[in-house]
Structure 1
């Protein structure tokens, strides 16, 4: 009988299978990180292409623009500048206000009443308005913006004369987005503006990547401990030290989250605390394994 000859190139060995799996996993990781990087860049640039153009005030009235400069989720407030633009009917030949004006802004944590003297060009005024929200819902936390603006002329004479008013919001704060802007004209001189502030896509993407890395560290620690328990890997002191180091590496990773979410956020309850607990258990199992191995060595040395 003729002997069968097997081509060595057709023989699959466990080593070749493992090498192929490693290459596939590495390729997937590269693709995921590349997509994450592109997403962060694209989301970060979103909104920065917006340019400010002065609004056109209504006839005989003013246009008020609120331009936020900072969102403080811990204080549940938003700070920014209030800009006022006057119609030609309210300006003199030199481009200054003919009459004194008063802008009432409600609610505001700083100034509720902004006065603009006659004979001057209205300058930006810094204000802070409350924006209620729950920062513990990071990174999907949202904050409600709502304020009413009312303008009067010659306010020293009683309530003054009502001035037609329109409002808008120019939002360009890094790491945040503004959406669902609604402007309601309550009267000719009073306008209510509402909107929703949320974290930008870049912040959400980076936070998601950090959470995935935390989970990956916990999974790796579990696989290492499992391999040592089944005998596929020898438990050495450096392996236990590496698992212990991961326990302390999680804290700076948690601090890398953009926006500095407070301790106790839902991401901590959902991911961080459980990852820490998992690695703590792995450290304990590794320590027990080292103690048992040292005990076995002492017994064998006595025999």
Structure 2
């Protein structure tokens, strides 16, 4: 019988581990997608754009941009422009990017504002932003293409609704929580409710059995009260207080735990005074 139990436990562990590896591969696979949009003209500027971070509190996207030159716009290599290159962006902080002719281009960090999305919706929050580029080489509009990918560990992002008249490119970026961060956030919410309900059940049992002041149980309840704060602060992305996770679980779990501890204490004191 013991051998059967050990085998069952081993199989369960193997199944769970395999499921975890599959989920990991599916999650990481969504982060490696490249989105390509724009002109396919042989003489064009391709903007290699990577999303480094979604700043949910500042409502900005941190983008890293590297121009890649094709055809007669390149001076021997795709990293050296044959003519002065200017890239105007829709960023309100960075604005115009300039690259001198015959000098190697370098990556540029640009911050784009978010149009839609609030961190207060965590863990269901998602963000939308419009990114735009206007490119000239030697004071002439040139065809533009865009390669976009996301490197933010907490968000997956995709490119939609791109338009590219000559010299311009505009597209929408949609960023949402990764599968892993969403699962962890949901687990924390369920765990907070489970802990609070466990404390409530213990409190009702102690009072109904007229057990008085049960110090170990009361110590556990008090410890749970502070453990819930640690659970809340472990939420991926460190959402500010007042997010949906608080109204959906944390505030209620703290309230139930506090009320249970006070209920047991008051009833225990009353019984102790009567004996």
TM-score interval, smaller chain: 0.7 to 0.9
Q: What residue is the counterpart of 2:133 in the other structure? A: 149
Tell me how far 1:93 sits from its aligned partner.
3.5
Q: What residue is the counterpart of 1:167 in the other structure? A: 146
| Farther off after superposition, 212-221 or 236-245 | 236-245
Task: String of CA shifts for 1:205-245, please: whole Å, max 9, x gaps.
Answer: 00111111100011111111111122186651211121111
Indicate whether 1:183 and 2:162 are aligned.
yes
Change (3 A) 1:225 1:37: farther
* Aligned residues of 2:34 and 2:149 also touching (Cα < 8 A): no
Indicate whether 1:139 and 2:117 are aligned.
no
Give me the whole-angstrom Cα distance separating, in 1, the residues matched to 2:231 and 2:82.
Answer: 58
Give me the whole-angstrom Cα distance separating, in 1, the residues matched to 2:206 and 2:179.
Answer: 41
Give me the whole-angstrom Cα distance separating, in 2, the residues matched to 1:270 and 1:226.
Answer: 23
* Aligned residues of 2:155 and 2:175 also touching (Cα < 8 A): yes
Q: What residue is the counterpart of 2:6 in the other structure? A: none
For residues 253-292 of structure 1, what are the structure 2 equivalents within 5 Å?
Answer: 253-292=231-270
Give me the whole-angstrom Cα distance separating, in 1, the residues matched to 2:82 and 2:22.
Answer: 51
Give me the whole-angstrom Cα distance separating, in 1, the residues matched to 2:272 and 2:34.
Answer: 69
Structure 2 residue aligned with 1:63, among 46, 49, 52? 46
* Aligned residues of 1:102 and 1:152 also touching (Cα < 8 A): yes
* Aligned residues of 1:57 and 1:86 also touching (Cα < 8 A): no
Give me the whole-angstrom Cα distance separating, in 1, the residues matched to 2:22 and 2:216.
Answer: 37
Q: Any runs of at least 4 consecutive aligned residues in structure 1 with deviations exceeding 6 A, and if so which?
A: none
| Farther off after superposition, 122-131 or 55-64 | 55-64
Give me the whole-angstrom Cα distance separating, in 2, the residues matched to 1:226 and 1:39.
Answer: 42
Q: What residue is the counterpart of 1:251 in the other structure? A: 229
Tell me how far 1:183 sits from its aligned partner.
1.2
Tell me how far 1:39 sits from its aligned partner.
7.7
Give me the whole-angstrom Cα distance separating, in 1, the residues matched to 2:214 and 2:82.
Answer: 84
Change (3 A) 1:116 1:43: same
For residues 41-80 of structure 1, what are the structure 2 equivalents within 5 Å?
Answer: 41-42=24-25, 44-50=27-33, 58-80=41-63
* Aligned residues of 2:135 and 2:141 also touching (Cα < 8 A): yes
TM-score (norm 2): 0.85
Change (3 A) 1:198 1:145: same
TM-score (norm 1): 0.78
Give me the whole-angstrom Cα distance separating, in 2, the residues matched to 1:262 and 1:130.
Answer: 20
What runs of 5+ residues in structure 2 fail to find an aligned partner? Answer: 1-8
Indicate whether 1:211 and 2:189 are aligned.
yes
* Aligned residues of 2:61 and 2:111 also touching (Cα < 8 A): yes
* Aligned residues of 2:31 and 2:150 also touching (Cα < 8 A): no
Q: What residue is the counterpart of 2:86 in the other structure? A: 102
Which structure's residues are more often strand, by fraction?
2
Change (3 A) 1:44 1:94: closer
Secondary structure at 1:173's aligned position in 2? coil
Count of aligned pairs between the two proteins: 261
* Aligned residues of 2:213 and 2:269 also touching (Cα < 8 A): no
Task: String of CA shifts for 1:230-264, please: whole Å, max 9, x gaps.
Answer: 21866512111211111111111111111101001
Give me the whole-angstrom Cα distance separating, in 2, the residues matched to 1:59 and 1:245.
Answer: 66
What runs of 5+ residues in structure 1 fail to find an aligned partner? Answer: 1-26, 155-159, 298-303
Give me the whole-angstrom Cα distance separating, in 2, the residues matched to 1:270 and 1:91.
Answer: 55
